[in-house]
Structure 1
Amino acid sequence: MKRWAPYPFVRIALSFIAGILVYLFTGREFRYSLELFAFFVATYLVLYLVSRRLKSVEANTIAGIAGLLCFVAGGIWLTHLHTEAHHPRHLSNLSGIPAYYVGVVDDYVVQKPGYQNTVLQVEQVQVNGQWQPAEGRVQLSVPHDSNREYEVSYGDRLLIKGAPLPVAPSPNPNQFDYRAFLANKQIHHRHFLQPHQFQKIDSAPPNPVLSFSIYLRRQLDALLKASIDERREYGISSALILGVKDELDNSIRDAYAQTGTMHVLAVSGLHVGLIYGILAFLLAGFKRSAKQRTVYATVILSVLWLYAFITGLSPSVLRAAFMFSLITVAMVSRRQHNIYNTLAIAAFALLWYNPYFLLEVGFQLSFLALLGIVYLQPRFYKLIEFENRVLDKGWALFTASLAAQLATFPLGLYYFHQFPVYFWLANLLVVPAATFVLYSGVAAMFFSWVPLLSTVLFKIHFAITWGMNEFNMLVNLLPQAVINGIDISTSQTWLLYTLLLLFILFFAYKQLRYFALATVVVALLATQEILEINTQQHQRSLVVYNMRNATAFSFLQGQQATVVSHQPLAPQNYIFNIQPYLWHKGVHQADAYTFADAPASHLGHALLPDSNNLYVWQGKRMLVVSKPIQMQPLPDFEIDYLLLTQNVRIKPEELQAFRFKQLVLDASNAPWYLQRLKPQLAAAGIAFYDLTEQGALVVDL
């Protein structure tokens, strides 16, 4: 207990996090959370009074444990309060389907090709001709086909015809679970609007401060766009300074992701830390008297929160600004502060505000990176001493990058399935360059009213941004720059963090028991990997993927796979829809063919006289119909899967001549086509599998 004594807020934060996790892992249906919280509070009060009377170590310990259980129960209760789907008026609990609904735009408007995304907070719905209060958040996709820069803005109250639909599950196996991602933001419905399906009633921003913040960020973004001619450099500048990623080019985004420097493009703790660092350096002399310390704190807090304001008050910036504010206040008050307690207070306060922050990747990575830098970086830094000041600064930067990467390494593998080999080299130059990009960009915007000075500053800003981009592209071209296809489970992620913790304890306390336990963890990881590889070597599966306006299916045996598609797939389409499943199955690179190609020898293929395609694999026959059927099958010829694609003109009676086990309608068919064909198939008594409604067809052999 003595070792825990200096870290009271760490204990509180961990207990609170445990309560949040208990609620989430019980399926978000934990009942009587308020009663449970009240019970533990009452128990703690009784035990506290008993411990004051007995004045013994054991009684104090029991009372302390009861106090921590109060925070566990508090985490359960508060998470239940923030789970909006349980509220009686939520869209999920309506008695009927709305014909109209009214709501307020309650988030940023994000530009996408041809449309804009935002979130609507529902206020009223019309059900069975009657208006009634309702609540819930709906992700809106608004068509952008006018000359206006934004079709809707934060605070706009909209009248919308129709009903939002529940967010669909992932269309393909192992694909990013967008439904869970939105559910963590309390968004359970989506609506893809048509141009004349909505009408602006008035404007009533729920938060005037956030409204002005978004307006200011738009004005500054417009200034950057007008001052930087090259789209690539403007996109990086806007993302790095303001957190606006609407214009980020996919190639440069991938380059930053694959070199381990994507964090500089997400306005977060790094950027707030850079601003805090330069301010602390410039104001280092203002700490002697109480009045000077007040000025020091006022200037730093004002600038930090002003920066948070102009970046749209994003959660990542708010986290960092709040943490550095705590550090500043503790420093100027001359009170001894512990960085771990400071981090714990920041985490507890943010999770109290919204417990679902715990599930955000940015929240997890930012706190783990900070913990790594706080604990590991000083120890790495002491390993080598440099007398040269430049080398010393470079070594300090390298060790900070190494510490952050090591602390986030397992989580990075779990979420992103890749490891940037040259992260140390990229960060060595990109982080300092990003610092100058940030400083020069802010200075250029601040002096934008001074004609000559503004031009010079923007040219300097452009040159640094261009150099940083070119360096990242060069690093990305190095051999084996990134290791892709790494797929680890949740249990393996926990085991990796357990291994990391055991090694830290071993080097900190020099006790062999920690090394022995680390050996056990390594053995467990190795056993899991051997069992997984053995399973993968004997696997066989057929998958027909759910891809809008496209036909694609794969044949997988062992750790080899063949992907067949109607036309060559766009790289992003393949990466997003197909690659996650193949990586999960241990396939790093699949063979790709189109209908016009001659496939691999292990896959039988015949182009029929009517231009349809027949595939034979592992004794299974798949007939892909993309053209009208102009031939009759042999009487004893049986097909396992008959796939209708590309809005093929066909009548149910034409299919009755075929013997098939399953009829599949893929997502290359248009909605109008499916809406017309499915009633005809049902009337003819032909069962079918609709990929657009049921998701990808996965057959494990």
Structure 2
Amino acid sequence: MKKFQFIFLRLSIYLMAGILCAFYIPVQIDPGIIIGISGGILLFFLLSLIRSRQRLFVDFWPGLFGFLLVLSLGFTIAYFAQPENQPGHYLHSDKAEMNRLAEISITEELKPSFTHRYLADINRIFTADSKEEIHGRVLLNIKGDSLVTAQIKPGSRIIVHWKPDSIRSPLNPYQFDYSRYMRSLKVHKQLNLDFSELSVIQENSGSTRAMAWNLREKLINDIKKQGMNPEAMAVLQALILGQRRDITNDLYQDYAAAGAIHILAISGLHIGILLLFLNFLLKPLGKLAYGSILKMIAIVSLLWAFAILTGLSPSVVRAVCMFSFLAVGMQLKRKTSTINSLFLSLFFLLVYDPYLLFQVGFQLSYLAVLGIILIQPRLYQMISFKSRIPDYFWKIITVSIAAQIGVLPLSLYYFHQFPGLFLLSNLLILPVLGLIMGLGFLAIFLASIDLLPGFIIASLEFVLNKMNLLVRQIARQETFLIENIEISLSQTLVLYLIIMILVMVLIKPDFRKLILLFTGILLFQASVLYGKWTNSSQELTIFHRSNETYIGLKSQENLTILSDTTSIPSFIDDYVRVEKIRNLSFRPVEPILKVHNNLILVIDSVTAYEKTKIQPDIILLKNNPKVNLERLLNHFKPVKLIADGSNSRYLIRRWKETADDHHIPLHITAEKGAFRLR
């Protein structure tokens, strides 16, 4: 039975390997072939099992075909989950690109920015005399104030003008790719509409998610009637009900800098606290006949009731699903039950939706819990306290450290910063988080029946205000916030390899594991050196920014920005971080540049190019120069033209026509993004 101890860990690894193959192998395969291969593997697996039962010793065939079966399962579900491989998806509809009407259903409300944003599923596209049943998910951006858009909520069905736009990729290197993030949610197009361009035909579809969302909004409104401080109220509804739309960007950044950002999003932390509280509260059930089963059913039911209370948002549903499996594992009380339960939930969720594998919250949740399961017990055993109070705080410290170790490499890879005071933040906040959640649930329940006494809401508001003040004080200690950290994917994977070996050393140290640890460290150093070796030593980048010109000249670890201003946009910070720039300087834009034997002539509104005797390879047009482009091209005959963001769209359209006539490519940064010459 020993080989079955971590069976779901191995099955999850095989499944993830199949999913990754489906997403990253750039080959179009006929669906019939995929189904045929998967069916053939299943047949051989069953035959190998029958054959193994007739033999005294089991050979490797059942294991091999079992591995291939789960691998093919991952590949198959991931292949058919991709919109490009679904015949009924709007990506394959010719009519989808025409200005028609569409019926869509709102599935999720996103945090608003300049517009109110929603995720929506398309039901059909139609005109007065035709209809096409299609499916797919879109991003819906609606202009209008909150009062106007209040009737649009999850569960609403609306009619919109069907004029989908692509979700643009970032125009400058290393910026956050929102289009890629949306694709991880199976969203490939967006609708940008005014409220006048849509019509709500059903405000509530009666679905479970719609009813859960309405319940959450009612509870939020019940609490708001009590007159709580807006900032405290915003944190409360994020902590208890998973609604973060009212949290200001400044407060969000303070929590991030303090290493407490996980507090503001209902995740494994909140569900874990709830699970531990329920496990303690329902402990007497364990003494009854079949008490363990009753306790398990009660805990899982209450966890899902909490998910309904939070509006059944996808992140909460994932966390509750994971901890439901863990709750079962806890009741089994076996050494390997917790890890098997964790990976069983992972296996189940990935079979349900393979796209979850690419979502940051999903990855961090599982890594944090895995870190706590594997590392926390070893850390806790290092020091023992006889008194309960020191022991309680030592448990919090070890849990925080273990969770941070679990997510550290991935956090550095995605967020590029490390909050040095995360331990202090968690040590001060986690002990009162349970109190806040308990008071919050009590306040919401009493407010919903109009029996909330003033001292409870006052106490809750006091604790929340103090927590926000504490977070701000910690966030202001900028010395302890390490920013602009850049590690590659390969370095991230090697760091996890090192962590795995360290855990093995903690469990049972020996010389072979120390050699493996030393090898892992050497691999990490080699990946760092490889990154420096492959980094371009000299590069010119013409960035895109509306109404301004930014040209970057990189040489080794030095970057010079040529611009008419000395302000530093965020995309410059991203470039500096990824390219590991140590020295940054500014100077005005020069009329002639040279990079890798390429001459670049910069022409603006004041350049007298007729007297220039050079033969440029590239011409950059900036600041709407009043030039005769026909004469300019005949005079210089450049290889390429570039128009940056400082030029008007009208002039760029005219230049494009002239450049096409001369068969000279025109790089428009507003369309193609930054121009890079390496």
**TM-score, structure 1 normalization:** 0.87
For 2:10, give the aligned amino acid: R
Partners of 1:302 and 1:425 in 2: CA distance: 34
Q: Which amino acid aligns with 2:256?
A: A
Kindly indicate whether residue 76 of structure 2 is the aligned counterpart of residue 99 of structure 1: no
Distance 2:650 2:124 in 1: 31
The question of whether the paired residues in 2 share the 8 Å contact of 1:485 and 1:588 is answered with no
Measured after TM superposition, the shift of residue 38 of structure 1 is 0.7
Task: Note if 1:120 corresponds to 2:120.
Answer: yes
Distance in 1 between the 2:603 and 2:397 partners? 55
Return 11-20 or 681-690, whichever deviates more: 681-690
Shifted more, 666-675 versus 103-112: the winner is 666-675
Residue type matched to 2:342 in 1? L
- Distance in 2, matches of 1:435 and 1:109, equals 27
Corresponding residue for residue 586 of structure 1: 580
SS in structure 2 of the partner of residue 63 of structure 1: helix
State how 1:439-588 maps to structure 2 within 5 Å: 439-448=438-447, 453-533=452-532, 536=535, 539-548=537-546, 551-564=549-562, 574-575=569-570, 577-587=571-581
CA distance 1:244–1:553, change in 2 (3 Å): farther
Q: Cα gap change, 1:632/1:45 in structure 2, threshold over 3 Å: closer, same or farther?
A: closer
Change (3 A) 1:549 1:391: farther
Q: Is the 8 A contact 2:606 2:625 kept in 1?
A: no
CA contact (8 A) 2:630 2:658 kept: no
Alignment of 1:249-264 (within 5 A): 249-264=248-263
Q: Does 1:171 align with 2:166?
A: no
* Residue of structure 1 in register with 2:602 after alignment: 623
Give me the whole-angstrom Cα distance separating, in 1, the residues matched to 2:305 and 2:108. Answer: 18
Residues 1:674 and 1:225: Cα distance change in structure 2 (over 3 Å): farther
Give distance in 1, aligned partners of 2:433 and 2:623: 48
Residue 125 (structure 1) shift? 3.1
Aligned residue in 1 for 2:141? 141
Deviation larger for 476-485 or 76-85: 476-485
Q: What's the RMSD between the two structures over aligned residues?
A: 3.2
Please give the alpha-carbon distance, in whole angstroms, between the structure 1 residues aligned to 2:333 and 2:491: 44
Instruction: Give 1:667's aligned amino acid.
Output: G
| 3-state secondary structure, aligned to 2:677 | strand
Q: Give the drift of 1:208.
A: 0.5
- The 1:534–1:73 alpha-carbon spacing in structure 2 relative to 1, beyond 3 Å, is closer
Question: Which whole-Å CA distance do the structure 2 matches of 1:28 and 1:262 have between them?
Answer: 40
Out of 634, 648, 656, the residue aligned to residue 611 of structure 2 is: 634
Aligned to 1:52: 53
Question: 2:28, 2:432 → 1: CA distance?
Answer: 48
**Unpaired runs of at least 5, structure 1:** 594-598, 607-613
Q: Which of 448-457 and 96-105 deviates more? A: 448-457
* Aligned-residue offset at 1:440: 2.1
- Contact kept, 8 Å, 1:641 with 1:661, in 2: the verdict is yes
Alpha-carbon offset, residue 3 of structure 1: 4.3
Letter of the 1:508 counterpart: I
Q: Does structure 1 conserve the Cα–Cα contact (< 8 Å) formed by 2:104 and 2:159?
A: no
Partner secondary structure for residue 479 of structure 2: coil
Matched residues in 2 for 1:325 and 1:19: separation? 26
Report Cα offsets for 1:110-147 as digits up to 9, x if no partner.
34244111123223335998542222222121112473
Contact in 1 for aligned 2:275/2:327 (Cα 8 Å): no
- Give how far 1:555 is off: 2.3
2:219–2:448 Cα contact (<8 Å) kept: no
Match of 1:609 in 2: none
Indicate the larger mover: 422-431 or 452-461: 452-461
DSSP-derived class of the 2:191 partner: strand
- Residues 103, 157 of structure 2: 8 Å contact kept: yes
Taking the aligned partners of 1:634 and 1:494, their CA distance within structure 2 comes to 56
Q: Quote the Cα distance in structure 2 between the aligned partners of 1:605 and 1:301.
A: 64
Q: Specify whether residues 35 and 240 from structure 1 end up closer, same or farther in structure 2 by C-alpha distance, changes over 3 A only.
A: same
Displacement after TM superposition at 1:482 (Å): 1.8
Q: Is the 8 A contact 1:171 1:696 kept in 2?
A: yes
- The aligned amino acid for 2:386 is E
Distance in 1, Cα, partners of 2:450 & 2:162: 51
* Counterpart residue identity of residue 42, structure 1: L
Summarize deviations over 1:429-479 as a string: whole Å, max 9, x none: 122233333222222111115768443222222222222222222222225
One-letter identity of the residue aligned with 2:528: E
Which amino acid in 2 is paired with 1:586? Answer: K
**Structure 2 unaligned spans of 5+:** none
Give the 3 Å change call, closer, same or farther, for CA 638–362 of structure 1 in structure 2: same
- Partner deviation per Cα, 1:170-192 (whole Å, 9 max, x = no partner): 32222223222222221111222
Q: How do residues 367-446 of structure 1 correspond to structure 2 at under 5 angstroms?
A: 367-446=366-445
User: Is the Cα–Cα contact under 8 Å of residues 410 and 493 in structure 1 kept in the other structure?
Assistant: yes
Amino acid at match of 2:40: F
> Could you tell me whether the CA contact under 8 Å between 1:114 and 1:145 is conserved in 2?
no
Partner Cα separation in structure 2 for residue 186 and residue 71 of structure 1: 23
Q: 1:184-333 maps to which residues of 2 (within 5 A)?
A: 184-203=184-203, 205=205, 208-227=207-226, 229-290=228-289, 296-329=295-328
Could you tell me how far apart the structure 2 residues matched to 1:136 and 1:149 are?
A: 23
Question: Structure 1 residues 545, 3: CA separation in 2 closer, same or farther (over 3 Å shift)?
Answer: farther
- Report the CA distance between 1:583 and its aligned residue: 1.4
Change (3 A) 1:290 1:553: farther
1:182 aligns with 2:217: no
Structure 1: how far apart are the matches of 2:454 and 2:646? 51
Aligned length, in residue pairs = 672
Change (3 A) 1:566 1:108: farther
Q: Deviations over 1:219-266 (max 9, x none)?
A: 233344444554433332222222222222222222222232211111
SS of the residue aligned with 2:641?
A: strand
**In the aligned structure 2, how far is the partner of 1:144 from the partner of 1:549?**
27
TM-score by length of 2: 0.90
Determine helix, strand or coil for the equivalent of 2:98.
Answer: coil
For residue 409 of structure 1, report the CA deviation from its aligned partner.
1.5
Shift of 1:410: 1.3
Query: Secondary structure of the residue that 1:132 maps to in structure 2?
Result: strand
Q: Is the 8 A contact 2:106 2:157 kept in 1?
A: no
Give how far 1:651 is off: 5.8
- Structure 1 residues 509 and 416, CA, compared in 2 at 3 Å: closer, same or farther? same
State the Cα distance separating 1:42 from its structure 2 match: 0.3
- CA drift of 1:292 comes to 5.3
Code of the residue aligned with 2:643 in structure 1: it is L
| Deviations 1:71-109, CA, capped at 9 Å, x for gaps | 111111111221122122322223353221413233222
Quick one: distance in 1 between partners of 2:41 and 2:355? 23
Contact 1:623/1:639 (CA < 8 Å) preserved in 2? no
Tell me, yes or no, if the aligned pair for 2:378 and 2:507 is still in contact at 8 Å. Answer: no
Matched to 2:613, the amino acid is D
What is the distance in 1 between the residues matched to 2:665 and 2:309? 56
Superposed CA deviations along residues 351-397 of structure 1, whole A, max 9, x for unmatched, are 11101111111111111111110111011001011122221111100
Q: Conserved in 2, the CA contact under 8 Å of 1:23 and 1:80?
A: yes
Change over 3 Å in CA distance of 1:687–1:41 after alignment to 2: closer
Shifted more, 62-71 versus 673-682: the winner is: 673-682
Distance 2:565 2:218 in 1: 43
Change (3 A) 1:105 1:427: same
